[in-house]
Amino acid sequence: MNVLKFGGTSVANAENIKLTANIIAKKAKEDRLVVVVSALSGVTDLLLSASKKASDKDAAYKEIVAEIEKKHLFAIKELIPVNDQSAMLSHVKRIINHLETLLDGCFLLGELSDRTSDTIIGFGELLSSCIIAETLKQQIPDAAYKDSRELIKTNNQFGKAIVNFAESNLLIHNYFDTHDSSVTVIPGFIASSSDGHNTTLGRGGSDYTAAIVAAALHSKQLEIWTDVNGMYTANPRIVKQAHPIETISYQEAMELSHFGAKVLYPPTIQPVLNKNIPILIKNTFEPEAEGTLISATAKESENPVKGISHIDNITLITLEGSGIIGVSGSSKRLFGTLSNENINVIFITQASSEHTICIGIQNSDAEKAKIAIDKAFEVEISQSKINPCTVEKNLCIVALVGESMKNHQGLSGKMFSTLGKNNVNIRAIAQGASERNISVVINERDVKKALNTLHERFFEDNTKQLNLFVMGVGNVGEKFMDQIHQQKKFLKENRKINLRVIAISNSRKMHFDEDGMPLKDWKESLENGETADKQTFISRVKALNLRNSIFVDITANEEVSKTYDQYLEENIAVVTCNKIACASAYENYSHLKNLSRKFNAPFLFETNVGAGLPIIDTLKHMIASGDKVHKIQAVLSGSLNFIFNNFKENNNFHDVVKEAGVQGFTEPDPKIDLSGVDVARKILILIRESGYEMEIEDIDNESFLPKECLDTQSVPDFFTSLIKHESHFNALYKNAVAKNSRLKYVAKFENGKASVGLQLIEPSHPFYNLEGKDNIVLFYTDRYVDQPLLIKGAGAGAAVTASGIFADVIRIGNV
């Protein structure tokens, strides 16, 4: 004989009950069945609400009763043929009348005893089971109904009664030995005391009913039918990549159940565990799915971790002081006090110094616990030997679970480092001697990030998900989005990096999609987005609190650059091509670098110098390896190099600058490039990355622009001034030709001094043949003395800049 239990979602409505009936009919062809059913989905909550309202003298309980009645009468009309409905409608009406009478009594008395409450909340199973039994008779004529209150006997501990197994086993045996129906439907959750009072079996009571019956009948298997494909490696509502566990041991299942895996509750397992009866978790809505098999011995797996689970709404209470060091009975007094207050302790840890005892309890018990503990230790507190207990609410316990974890070294280290890299602060740690689970207490706001990060580390073949928040989707930003779209599949398959763009923004609009936006139509999504606002953008990024979050700044906006600290402080990496922050006051530059280190949040700006060229990265590696930079010579403006390479005798300087803008080589305001400000920022960044402290004002900027051009206040005025001073630019060109030289805008650093300016470059110089928009940097260091380290290549353009930003994002993925 097999026992099948169907939960509330499996019998939520007439449609679902039909699916359940089909499963039962198919199973009944193979074996005799006992079918345990829960109340229709939501009915138990309605009963609890009705009983509370009645005891509070709120007449609205009558409306809830009417809703419950309507729900069940509709199910009857949908499931049972018209000619057979009369008897069932009358039966349900009698049960509803009884319920209403009990609630009327609660209303008149203005109270609700535990005994009455047990009777009231059991009505859901009484109603659903009789309807389902009658429904089954259409396919299985000998299907029978049995009231489980006549089979399972308990004590009078109302709310969570303790089962009398000796009496219950005898009753179950006697009934099924004398009745041979192929299917017997019984209500879950409810039982009765030996003296005939209605009782309930507590949280997960229907599962418990099924386990009690299965153990009593020595069933071949207990099947729990629910709305998911078994026990998952993590909560699939929080971790989208979670997957069903094929096999798991009883002990592992109990650990996961204790830590919040709601498919199963720990008490369920005990009766069948003692009899070594396997439990199979199945999905009513995908009956062909394999599900999860729980047995004495689970299938061997390379992964020692079977699942990750968590408990919400946890409070940490800490008792601390010299008065508990070496004092016998301190722990006994603490736990005895909590026991007397009927407070369940979920988590325990104690320092080896005995100076501190830390416990985890439900938030709802926090105030009661503090009052009781402080009272129990009031003498020691008054003598300052023990501090009043501290209370930290809104925490969460996260646990790694696995039978084989004890045989694998380094799992704790992997767990803690994985959480640490994502700035998830661990408040307390516990690991049992069995090493079957490692538990940590963290802030409740970090639970989604923690579960996803740990699941990624232990179950996803080390695939790392990067969540991008992109500000600035103009010329360079568009290329960046296109490159992500093009490379997304390759990166996931070959580099184990899963890129998701969560948000995009320009100066007008912004759009968020927590699940990652489709990249093929991101422009349409942005156009239909909400009004852009930098602070709202930041707040939304923080609130999402996603693992491996990266803010990508593809603007030249100073206000955006001032927000980097707000991201870094939240462990959100910053990747930027915006040079303003790193070329701002040295104090701010240093502050951002320190925040990056403190909060383990990468701050990468490779494209600040040389677009896609690996200049800063190469410099960082040199410095890290102990080399020291003494001198830098560079052409750092791809736009200026393009302009002076294309400015010929027959070309108008104004037109060449215009063309550079059209091709995306200059900033939106080309004066930033031509004034030398952009080059000054770049050499400043290289100087700072070389280990020197310098401000932008310390750089000698020898501008080649006439003062009138520099003083213009708008882009159109600037271009007008270029036309007006055309003779000035022609003279510069003719002077270079006359001296057999080429014009190059050069940045230099040597002996603690730096300068930028237009220079005449002779044919023998390495800069002479620098073509197009290329950049070149020469580093003279301790190791590169006679022949400098040379880096050369395209230093401007939307595509190469986007690729540099992309490369920084990938660097973070490879950390």
Report DSSP letters for 353-400, one per residue: TSSEEEEEEEGGGHHHHHHHHHHHTHHHHHTTSSPPPEEEEEEEEEEE
3-class DSSP assignment, residue 461: coil
**Does residue 76 contact residue 92 with C-beta atoms inside 8 Å?**
yes
Beta bridge partners of 358: 318, 349
Q: Please answer whether residues 775 and 636 qualify as being in contact, where contact means their C-beta atoms are separated by less than 8 angstroms.
A: yes
Q: In what order do the strands lie in the sheet with 33-37?
A: 144-145, 183-187, 33-37, 2-6, 222-226, 279-283, 292-295, 247-249
204 phi/psi in degrees, rounded to 5: 70, 25
State which H helix or E strand residue 153 sits in.
strand 153-154
In the block, residue with structure tokens 């699942």: 307
Task: Please classify residue 87 by burial: count the beta carbons closer than 10 Å to its beta carbon, then call 0-12 exposed, 13-18 middle and 19+ buried.
Answer: exposed
Give the other-Cβ count within 10 Å of 487's Cβ.
16
- Within 8 A by CB and 6+ apart from 179, the residues are 144, 146
Calpha distance 328→337 (Å, rounded): 16
Burial of 660 (0-12, 13-18, 19+ CB in 10 A): buried
C-alpha 687, offset from chain centre: 39
| Helix (H), strand (E) at residue 254 | helix 250-258
Sheet containing 426-431, strands listed edge to edge, beginning at the edge strand earlier in sequence:
347-350, 356-362, 307-320, 390-401, 437-443, 426-431
Enclosing H/E stretch for 129 = helix 123-136
Are 340 and 365 in contact by the 8 Å Cβ rule? The answer is: no
762 by DSSP, 3-state: which? coil
The strand pairing partners of 200, in sequence order, are 190
- Quick one: CA dihedral 474, 479, 485, 491, positive or negative? negative
List CB contacts of 555: < 8 A, sequence separation 6 or more.
471, 472, 578
- Residue tagged 């600040």 (tokens): 608
| Catalytic site residue from 449, 682, 744, 773 | 682
Spatial distance between the Cα atoms of 800 and 794, rounded to a whole number of angstroms: 7
The partner residues of 777 in beta bridges, in order of sequence, read: 634, 791
**234 DSSP 8-state letter:** S
Which SS3 state, helix, strand or coil, does residue 409 take?
A: coil
Active site residue 682: yes
- DSSP per residue over 489-552, as a string? HHHHHHS-EEEEEEEEE-SSEEEE-TT---GGGHHHHHHTSEEP-HHHHHHHHHHH--TTEEEE
User: What kind and span of H or E run contains 743?
Assistant: strand 742-750
Cα within 13 Å of Cα(733), Cβ side: 16
- Angstrom CA distances, 146 to 36, 133, 210, 273, 558, stand at 10, 9, 13, 25, 75
| Cα 558 from chain centre | 31
Report the catalytic residues: 682
